[in-house]
Amino acid sequence: MNKIAIVTDSTADIPKDLVEKYNIRVVPLTVSFKDRTYYDGVDLNIDTLLGMLDEGEELPKTSQVNPARFCDEYKRLLDEGYKIISVHLSSNLSGTYQSALIAKNMLETEDIYVVDSRTVSFGTGMLALKAVKMIEEGKDIEEIYSTLNNLAQKSRVAFALDKLEYLKKGGRLSGAQAAIGTLLNIKPIIYINEGRLEILDKTRGMKKALSRMIKYVQEQGYDKNELFAIGTVRDFENFSEFEKMVKSELNIENPLFAEVGTVVATYSGPGVIGIWFYKE
């Protein structure tokens, strides 16, 4: 039997039904707000998080998974006879990947394979689901590890942001910049470049932002043999329109829906539309 377990972190934003179906182990990051610490996806959901964002000028603080948490999870799985693929958000955005490596070294085992997804949100989740598929196909762990590292180089993610106030609260925009941008109806589009978040473009209005993301996919080209996903933070009206655009302009019949989770929403706020795919 091919006993391989998949571990990821809560930023992967894998739909809960898929987590349960494939028995993916999700280790939560923590979110701190007003002297209380929450576990992402455990005792903190998106609605509670958005309520926190509306309360004050300071954003909640997110923290990486510590090595001890990984160590505990890994040890349980190793004791059950599993080898482990552990897939985590970009090492350029969080120390979570490094924590996973530390935990592996603490256990002194070669049966844990840690993958830097070089991306964020469901971009990480897509790699975890690819690993699940390869396990079902009977692939060995070395081939899975190699494939995930290759796919990480091809992973593409972009988000259109509706509101600028959360970038201001997070110190990424000055108050004046946010005010002018809001007045001009500016919608920044964030993407992942070499594992880092950067601005792809700025448009006037969300409809133009959504069109720009479609153009980004067309510029990059997308691998039709791999997952293609879209998602949102509570902007279902624009999301519905975007889904129609994806189907009509990119000829993708059934894009997977992935709701953007609390860690990304902490810095973006509500009204985000996201897209995840692999470059050809």
Q: Is residue 136 domain-shared with residue 166, that is, in the same domain?
A: no
Residue span of the structural domain in which 194 resides: 155-278
Domain boundary among 100, 134, 153: 153
Of residues 185 and 75, more confidently modeled: 75
Q: Is residue 181 domain-shared with residue 256, that is, in the same domain?
A: yes
Residue-level pLDDT at 268: 79
Residue-level pLDDT at 184: 57
Q: Is residue 193 domain-shared with residue 254, that is, in the same domain?
A: yes
Residues 19 and 129: beta-carbon distance below 8 Å: no
Give the CATH number, domain containing residue 271: 3.30.1180.10
Provide the strand spans (E) within the chain.
4-9, 25-27, 30-33, 36-39, 61-63, 83-88, 112-116, 155-161, 186-193, 196-204, 229-233, 256-257, 272-278
The pLDDT of residue 50 is above 70: yes
Q: Kindly state the tokens that stand for 256.
A: 């997977």
Domain boundary among 100, 132, 153: 153
pTM here? 0.92
The pLDDT of residue 119 is above 90: yes
What type of residue is 101? L
Q: Is residue 100 domain-shared with residue 20, that is, in the same domain?
A: yes
Q: Is residue 202 domain-shared with residue 88, that is, in the same domain?
A: no
Sign, CA torsion 42/43/47/53: negative
The tally of domains found in the chain comes to 2
Q: Is residue 189 domain-shared with residue 118, that is, in the same domain?
A: no
Q: Is residue 128 domain-shared with residue 159, that is, in the same domain?
A: no
Q: Is residue 218 domain-shared with residue 104, that is, in the same domain?
A: no
Give the CATH number, domain containing residue 71: 3.40.50.10170
Instruction: Please provide the average confidence, as pLDDT, over all residues in the chain.
Output: 90
Q: How confident is the model at residue 271 (pLDDT cuts 50, 70, 90)?
A: confident
Domain boundary among 95, 130, 153: 153
